[in-house]
Amino acid sequence: VIELPINDLLDITGWELTKALRLFRKSNPPLMEWLRSGIVYYQAFSTIDQMKELSKNIFAPNSCLHHYLNMANNNFREYLQGDKVRIKKYFYVLRPVLAARWIEKYNEFPPLEFPKLLEDILPDGEVKKHIQILLKRKIDGEELDFEPKIEVINDFLNEEIIRLREYTKTLNIDIPDFTHNLDLLFRNSLEEVWK
């Protein structure tokens, strides 16, 4: 693990390449999200491009589902249990729940954009309407501080976390062995960087 605090505003965090490739094999969600980020500060060599190309085929739904459900469950318990909650924390639970539902629906890694997840995954109705109101308030820069919890969203999140946990128990997916591809990517990176 590489962690370099640059200044008060910027930290650099990452992994050495062999660790990154081991995490990549398991579709580590933070790594998969980094690969899909539209924000790139600096990129050298072709390693990331090779990983992006491989990521079209390397996908372990179980690993990603467990990651997103653990995140959703922990944030739900920590932030959304009182009579008054920090409204902005709903997004800390909604995004991973919608990401898990995307995986369930499409068997592929979810998009990073919350509006895209919301539009595709949730049908029109009361829950979606309340989430759209929160999203608009957030986009408008309104301070989403402590307010009474939104029961319809809390109920939806609670039910979905339970349902998705049960869904993960039904999955029995064989993941192809990408060792050869990852070894080749590693060797290509070494040759490119240290010719």
The string of pLDDT tens digits covering residues 143-165 is 888 999 999 999 999 999 999 99
Q: Residue 69: give its domain's CATH number.
A: 1.20.120
User: Is the pLDDT reported for residue 100 higher than 80?
Assistant: yes
- Residues spanned by the domain of 30: 2-59+175-193
Which residues lie across from 5 on neighbouring strands? 11
Total domains, the chain: 2
The pLDDT of residue 42 = 86
Q: How far apart are CA 83 and CA 27, in angstroms?
A: 37
The pLDDT of residue 160 = 98
User: Averaging pLDDT over each range in 1-5, 8-12, 54-58, 103-107, which range is the top one?
Assistant: 103-107
22 and 93 share a domain?
no
Instruction: Give 98: exposed, middle or buried? Use CB within 10 Å, 0-12, 13-18, 19+.
Output: buried
Half-sphere CA count of 54, side-chain side, radius 13 A: 26
In 39-181, DSSP assigns E strands to 84-86, 146-148
pTM for the whole structure? 0.89
In the chain, DSSP assigns E strands to 2-5, 11-14, 84-86, 146-148
164 and 114 share a domain?
yes
The string of pLDDT tens digits covering residues 19-57 is 999 999 999 999 999 999 989 888 999 999 999 999 988
Q: What is the mean pLDDT of residues 66-70?
A: 96
Please provide residue 177's backbone torsions phi and psi, each rounded to the nearest 5 degrees.
-85, 110
48 and 86 share a domain?
no
Sign of the dihedral defined by the CA atoms of residues 24, 29, 31, 33, in that order: positive
